Amino acid sequence: MALLETHDLSKAFGALTAVNAVSLRVEAGTLHSIIGPNGAGKTTLFNLLTGTFPPSAGRIVFDGSDITGTPAHRIAHLGLARSFQRTNVFPAFSLLDNVWLAAFACSKSWRGLLWRRADRYPEATAQARAALADVGLGEKADQPAREISHGEQRQLELAIALAAAPRVLLLDEPAAGLSPEETRRMVALVRALKGRYTIVLIEHKMDIIMNVSDRISVMHFGSLIAEGTPEEIQRNAEVRRAYLGGVAA
């Protein structure tokens, strides 16, 4: 069963159609990757899925209900959590507070919002600690986010998304700017999350994609040009053409 679907989803910025009639089906429990050259419209597609801006046309269906046009702050409550391509954390906060904020947002009740001490929410705190431990940052919970390395910030980025206990994880280039060693750790991490969550992954690094994906969709100039298993995609002539540039391969 498809957990997340788009139907002819489009987004135009003036004359530029960044996303053009994309129809995508993400099956529950799978890791579905979206690849494509720079500027193919992958991040714009994520922004549409998470309500950063509404689509120009088309529909988004999550778990059988139409969520097209749902604003960003509601999306997390529905069970869709994203990580960002460029690290987007709360720099002055400790790692725990970074993650806690996401865990609290999606907790069942906001009782005591104005008067109970923030550290008296054992459930949210436990969830936040678990998310930090999941990405291997449990030891650094009390450090400020601005003091950890870039690689660790990418892990934190992921932990913030996990803390909301989402049903679908949207990961936008989790390995962006990482060293080979850090990349290997991130791949192991994503692989460990596979199966526990339905994951939609945007990535540039082919070796990662081919390694972890169940299905791959290829975007080029805003449109989907191919979809299939990693093996199918590797054999696909059109995909090679898109990646090698206009030359007929």
Partner 1 sequence: MRALVLILAAVVLLPFIVRPAIASEIWIFAIFGLGLNLLLGYTGLLSFGQSTFFGSAAYVAGYLLKHYAIGVFAALGIGVAVGAISALLVGYLCVQRSGLYFIMLTFALNQLFYFIAYQWTTVTGGEDGMPGVPRPAMLGIDFRDPVAYYIFVSVLFLLSLWLMKRIVDSPLGKILQGIRENEVRAEAVGYHVPRFKLLAFVIGGAFSGLAGVLYAMLFGIVPLEAIGFVTSGNVVFATLIGGSGSLYGPIIGSFVFIWLSESMSVVWARWPLLLGVAFIVVVLFFRGGVVEAWDRIWRFSKRTT
Chain residues binding partner 1 by CB under 8 A are 50, 71-77, 81-82, 84, 88-93, 97, 100-102, 104-106, 110, 112-118, 121, 160, 164
Rounded Cα distance, 35 and 215, in Å: 11
For residue 1, give the nearest of 141, 198, 176, 191 by alpha carbon.
Answer: 198
Q: How far is the CB of 195 from partner 1 (least distance, A)?
A: 24
Q: How far is the CB of 18 from partner 1 (least distance, A)?
A: 19
CB count within 10 Å of CB 75 equals 23
| DSSP characters over 3-28 | EEEEEEEEEEETTEEEEEEEEEEEET
**18 vs 156, which CB is nearer to partner 1?**
156
Minimum distance between the CB of residue 9 and partner 1, rounded to whole angstroms? 19
Least distance from partner 1 to the Cβ atom of residue 10, Å: 23
Q: Angle formed by the axes of helices 95-105 and 122-134, to 10°?
A: 120
Tell me the DSSP string of 173-241: -TTTT--HHHHHHHHHHHHHHBTTBEEEEE-S-HHHHHHH-SEEEEEETTEEEEEE-HHHHHH-HHHHH
CA separation for the pair 169, 81 (Å, rounded)? 5
Minimum distance of partner 1 from residue 14's CB (angstroms): 23
Q: Select 93 or 243, whichever has its Cβ closest to partner 1.
A: 93
- Closer residue to partner 1 in complex, CB, 163/216: 163
Q: What is the spatial distance between Cα 170 and Cα 167, in angstroms, rounded to a whole number?
A: 10
Q: How far is the CB of 13 from partner 1 (least distance, A)?
A: 18
Q: Which is nearer to partner 1, 61 or 106 (CB)?
A: 106
| Nearest CB to partner 1, comparing residues 119 and 207 | 119
Q: Which is nearer to partner 1, 57 or 130 (CB)?
A: 130
Nearest distance from C-beta of residue 248 to partner 1, angstroms: 42
Q: Which of 47, 60, 3 is nearest to 26 (CA)?
A: 3
Tell me which residue of 50, 48, 70, 56 sits closest to 17, measured CA to CA: 56
Instruction: Identify which of residues 20 and 62 has a Cβ nearer to partner 1 in the complex.
Output: 62
Amino acid found at 165: A
